Amino acid sequence: MFYRKEGNPENSEVVLCTVTKILPNAVFVRIDEYDKGGMIHISEIAPGRIRNLNDYVYVDKKIVCKVLRTDEQKGHIDLSLRRVNEGQRRDKVNQLKKEQKAEKIIEMLANSIKRKPEDLYKEITKNVFAEYEYLHEFFEDVVNREEGISYLKLPNKLEEALHELVAQKMAPSEIQIKGNITLKIYSSNGVDLIHETFDKMKDKAISVKYLGTGKYSITLSDYEYEKVEKLLSKKVEKAIEWFKEQGGEAKFVRA
């Protein structure tokens, strides 16, 4: 990756690292984003007693760590592997995958105009990083919010070629929330109440499929996560609450 951060990582920052050396009581790594060395004490590898560090890490393995402390004078950076939860690990890996995708666009453009990718990357990002932490965040705004690309102050032909590639390669991916709904009601108009419940959920972004014996699968789709969550609370959960108020039993289980 071309991406590098200046200075030292902050305490509690989550960083991607590459294992470089394993000793009996410590693991040494390279912090990829900062291109600096760091150390993980054996007590920060995993909970409980560790007999063999090689059961957890190996040289060249990519791991996500949390920064415990930075000694700028000595140049020491202490890290922890065990204090990173699954959500933090997944978010960091996904973030860097997106950045790699954004850098791939720069490489493709550089190859097409016969320029060195490193030089073109520096030219494009010198203004991007004044406003954004990552290149992919800028590219996503170009696609999702029609953010102007002209402020990069690139030559017209280069600007047009970059915009075309970004629009082609960074098209927003659809976000989905899936789950199962169970509805039960014993009143004489129960079937009508079930139909009315799903009428309240009607939306072009919501699809429902009958599974049998009062069970239904539901899928909510959009290109923005916040909108999908809003659909879930405003449409699905409200409709389920209404069904309960009519005397029915209802349960939604998110997949």
Kindly report which listed range (54-68, 87-101, 171-185) carries the lowest average pLDDT score.
171-185
pLDDT tens track for 190-241: 999 999 999 999 999 999 999 999 999 999 998 777 888 899 999 999 999 9
Task: Please give the average per-residue pLDDT across 61-70, as a whole number.
Answer: 97
pTM to 2 decimal places: 0.63
pLDDT category at 147 given cuts 50, 70, 90 is: low
pLDDT score at 142: 85
Tokens of 248: 């029915």
Task: Please give the average per-residue pLDDT across 163-170, as a whole number.
Answer: 87
CATH 3.30.70.1130 region(s) of the chain? 175-254
| Residues 144, 142, 172: CA angle, nearest 5 degrees | 40
How far is it, in rounded angstroms, from Cα 99 to Cα 1? Answer: 8
pLDDT category at 153 given cuts 50, 70, 90 is: confident
pLDDT score at 141: 84
Q: What CATH number was assigned to the domain covering residues 14-84?
A: 2.40.50.140
Concatenated DSSP letters of 33-69: TTTEEEEEEGGGTSSS--S-GGGT--TT-EEEEEEEE
pLDDT at 108 over 80: yes
| Residues 13, 229, 250: CA angle, nearest 5 degrees | 125
pLDDT category at 178 given cuts 50, 70, 90 is: very high
pLDDT category at 103 given cuts 50, 70, 90 is: very high
The domain defined by 175-254 folds into Alpha-Beta Plaits (3.30.70)
pLDDT score at 34: 94
CATH 1.10.150.190 region(s) of the chain? 87-169
The domain defined by 87-169 folds into DNA polymerase; domain 1 (1.10.150)
pLDDT at 149 over 90: no
